[in-house]
Structures are given as structure tokens and as C-alpha cells.
Amino acid sequence: NAGVTQTPKFQVLKTGQSMTLQCAQDMNHNSMYWYRQDPGMGLRLIYYSASEGTTDKGEVPNGYNVSRLNKREFSLRLESAAPSQTSVYFCASSAADTQYFGPGTRLTVL
Amino acid sequence: AQSVTQLDSQVPVFEEAPVELRCNYSSSVSVYLFWYVQYPNQGLQLLLKYLSGSTLVKGINGFEAEFNKSQTSFHLRKPSVHISDTAEYFCAVYNNDYKLSFGAGTTVTVRA
């Protein structure tokens, strides 16, 4: 079992470029989440998906879109990257109360 | 929505000394509380959780936490730390819609 995997691990973008962060889980979990982590702010929820076919906004959704492609995969898209989106992005999944996290994607927007 | 406050942003501690990380949560009828650990350049992993029952919760790597409803606290403790405990620790609470709210984190640095 790989658990939760994320690609890429690192990415540098220029302002205005677009990209998609990929996340996949092999634990057959219904719920999946995208967070961003910034120093001194903990993790903040961007979007989540309670089950295949549904997505909902979290605390900081502006500038992002998501797709729950199937039960395994949940992608995060930045349509026009901004320097304020420089952060570490974590994907997580859960079946009940415990969330399992991926290793993260470190994104820098210049 | 419920929230948590971690009272210490940095905790330096010597190897083999005890450590306590403080977490307070906003009150609610029922509450699920968690402590996660993030080692350098890694994702988060669950240390322990309180859902119901005994207020003293034991987790991995010798950590434990005590749920105190009257003080709305969920402090994390370890009686003797190792260098390998150097990490960032996050307290979190489940909201009624099963989304986690995280505290700002406490960085523990263990020195020899």
C-alpha cells in the first residue's frame, strides 16, 4: 500500500501560469482533502470531496479548482498562479475520523 | 465552526527531559480532538486522538494527551524526549461536518 501519493514534489511557476497537482490514494477512502500549509498558520483547507462526484469549498478556495476524477484521485488546479499561492500543498484522505496525508508538493510562484 | 489554539509556537527541550505542548479548543457539545506530527520535509501523521471514553489518551512514540472538558484543553506530553522527536506538532479538532481545523503548530527542537 502506497497510501496517499502526490505529484509533483516540487514545482516553480511564473505568475499567470497554470498547473495541476495530482493526488491518489489506494485505501478505498470516500473522503479526500486539499490543504495548504504556510508558516505560523497551520494547515488550511482549500477544497474537499466527501465522496466520488462531490466537491465543496473549504476555508481558502479562491484561485483554485478541484476535480474528483474517481474514488482514488483528487486533483487541484491553479488556473492563473499568483505569488500568494506559494506554499506547501497536502492532500489527505479519510474513511472515518482519521485523515491520512501525502508527502506534500512544494510550490513556488515567482 | 470549532477551532483550536496552540499556546506555544516554539518549544526547545533537552534530550531525556519531559515536554508538554498546550492546546485549547473552542467549546462544543461534543468534540473530537487530534494531535498530528510532521517530521522535517514530510507529511503529517497521526500521533493520537480523543473521540470519547477515557480522558487520558496514549499514542505512538510514547506520547499521551489528556482531554480536560472543564478547561477545554487537550495538552500533549512525553516524559522523556529523544532527538528524533524534533518535529512540528499540530493540534486539530473535527467540526460537525467532519472537516479538520488545525492549530498554528508547535515546533519542538530537542537538543543533546
- The per-residue pLDDT for range B7-21, each reduced to its tens digit, is 999 999 999 999 999
- The per-residue pLDDT for range A30-89, each reduced to its tens digit, is 999 999 999 888 899 999 999 988 999 999 999 999 999 899 999 999 999 999 999 999
pLDDT interval class at B94 (50, 70, 90): confident
Would you give the end-to-end CA distance of chain B in angstroms? 41
pLDDT interval class at B99 (50, 70, 90): confident
Residues of A near B (Cβ–Cβ under 8 Å) read 4, 31, 33, 40-45, 48, 50, 58, 90, 92, 94, 97-104
pLDDT of residue A27 exceeding 80: yes
Determine the pLDDT at residue B29: 66
Candidate from B43, B51, B99 with C-beta closest to A48: B99
Report the distance separating Cα B62 and Cα B66, nearest Å: 14
Report the distance separating Cα A88 and Cα A38, nearest Å: 7
What residues of chain B lie within 8 A of the CB of A50, using their CB? 98
Determine the pLDDT at residue B27: 67
Count of all residues that appear for chain B in the document: 112
What is the rounded average pLDDT of the residues B102-108? 95
Report the distance separating Cα A77 and Cα A55, nearest Å: 13
What residues of chain B lie within 8 A of the CB of A45, using their CB? 99-100
